[in-house]
Structure 1
């Protein structure tokens, strides 16, 4: 017969109070409920456990032998299961893992690492560039803590999301390019050779879908899965490329590149942080989300 561990607090309360009624009051239970629990204990252990005397309910030797292990069990449950220890970033050695595209790494990681150095100096960060179809399983398993970026597929009820900021798109040209206007015409856009990025991230799809919908066919000279090669290529050729604005702004600060408005309105998109509901109340995950929204939320 399985023993009901829920009966142990009743035995401990009666032992300490030497009274069923006072034990019931201490436990916040009715006296009949405590009496029923005591009877269950007696049947389960084959011993009267507590005997009424002139000094109250005195324990039998069998009951007395229960008290020390019962206290140990209840203390461990309170300390290891029921207590909520606050997460302290200053001492944690935890590794935090993100799903980030290389765009995300450029816009997120520099500020984030600076913040980690100040608040969580012993923690580490890992960035994974996963295919979109693998991100949901990685969030669910805890392989990654947060997915930050444009992930329109993460809409299942098991996922939470929080908007950080909105992105637009911009075109990049060599700073010495013969075209000098701040907005390129559709005629010139179609005339120029294009570099096209086909990365794991989903944001670039918005540009491709819009051009396909409007039946706009560019002259594609270069197709690459990597953003990081783009500034060097654009700076040394007369190609044009269309990228998220924050990426273009970063590239323009680093090398011989200038920003040019595209010839058509491209839809904005929201960058969000996503996490699985398993970790919604997890202390480290909650701290991490608060840092992200503080640094990058509009």
Structure 2
């Protein structure tokens, strides 16, 4: 098939269907009637010889062929959009818009204070919004321009996305000061004997840490499991539990909650934390400025916990 065989507007409509999954929503987005969208979909079906989208109670579900085609179409349209808008100029001080970043609750604790402070000085008209980077539709929302950046360990963002590593994150043990384990070095035998707080962070790279500990033959006594990291400081502050957490989060919690960080006695691989953005905004000035700010504030593998036991 040649490019001259298909109308670019049909591919735009196809991409909208991949993101929205509803004919009515696509019609509203593109300023078309629902019959016009249905007719365009019928043309696409004839061109590609595939149903492309199947109607279900939950909306239009793409076929396997549409999923495969969607990666290439999304990337191509993104590059075209980027090329058409690369000359756009802006001044951060006068910028007025909402920026949305995908991150975990760890990211909100580690990144947001410094990022908000910088935005307040350089771009006071910017409002910051966060969404979970393990959300089911993160990929589609980034393709549609609803999410500007995502930060974390996100292997699902491949074709059509750029990424740059911020740092490699190691895991440490965290518990309250005065704990029975509050000694210069945490031994593996002490770790095994302790009662543990486990954070079941489903859908993120952090969730794999517990699997690795189990594979190492470590049978922990888990006293409490929680689905997020936000409550970790409060829980450890008033209990004798021990938690395995990312180092940068641990160092943020030490002073406010009176905690102690120790090198983990189990050999765990570092987790690469990266920034991801879609090809459509690769040359978009606001996104370039935002990425540069994130890299400057948080990039580098420097030893944030130098001197840990």
Deviation sequence 1:249-296 (CA, Å, 0-9, x none): 111021121112221211111111001101111121111111111111
Query: 143, 146, 149: which is aligned to 2:149?
Result: 146
Deviation of the 1:201 alpha carbon: 5.7
Deviation sequence 1:172-222 (CA, Å, 0-9, x none): 111011223233222221211110111256232231121132232211110
In structure 2, do the counterparts of structure 1 residues 295 and 83 end up closer, same or farther at CA, with 3 Å as the change threshold?
closer
Gaps of 5+ in 2: 1-83, 301-309
Q: Which residue of 1 aligns with 2:128?
A: 125
Query: 259, 275, 281: which is aligned to 1:273?
Result: 275
State the alpha-carbon separation in 1 of the partners of residues 190 and 265 from structure 2: 9
Alignment check: 8 A CA contact 2:86 2:285 kept = no
Query: 116, 132, 136: which is aligned to 1:113?
Result: 116
Report the TM-score, using the length of structure 2 for normalisation.
0.67
**Equivalent residue pairs, number:** 217
Alignment check: 8 A CA contact 1:96 1:145 kept = yes
Stretches of 4+ aligned residues off by more than 4 angstroms:
none
Q: Secondary structure at the match of 2:191?
A: helix
State the alpha-carbon separation in 2 of the partners of residues 147 and 254 from structure 1: 27
Deviates more, 1:127-136 or 1:103-112: 127-136
Alignment check: 8 A CA contact 2:133 2:150 kept = no
State the alpha-carbon separation in 1 of the partners of residues 136 and 85 from structure 2: 36
Whether 1:291 aligns to 2:293 is: yes
Alignment check: 8 A CA contact 2:85 2:284 kept = no
Deviation of the 1:83 alpha carbon: 8.7
Deviation sequence 1:7-27 (CA, Å, 0-9, x none): xxxxxxxxxxxxxxxxxxxxx
Deviation of the 1:131 alpha carbon: 2.5
Q: Which residue of 2 aligns with 1:241?
A: 243
Q: Which residue of 1 aligns with 2:91?
A: 88
State the alpha-carbon separation in 1 of the partners of residues 143 and 88 from structure 2: 23
Gaps of 5+ in 1: 1-80
Deviates more, 1:203-212 or 1:278-287: 203-212
Deviates more, 1:255-264 or 1:181-190: 181-190
State the alpha-carbon separation in 2 of the partners of residues 187 and 281 from structure 1: 52
RMSD (Å) for aligned C-alpha atoms: 1.7
In structure 2, do the counterparts of structure 1 residues 153 and 132 end up closer, same or farther at CA, with 3 Å as the change threshold?
farther
State the alpha-carbon separation in 1 of the partners of residues 203 and 89 from structure 2: 35
Report the TM-score, using the length of structure 1 for normalisation.
0.69
- Structure having the higher Rg: 1
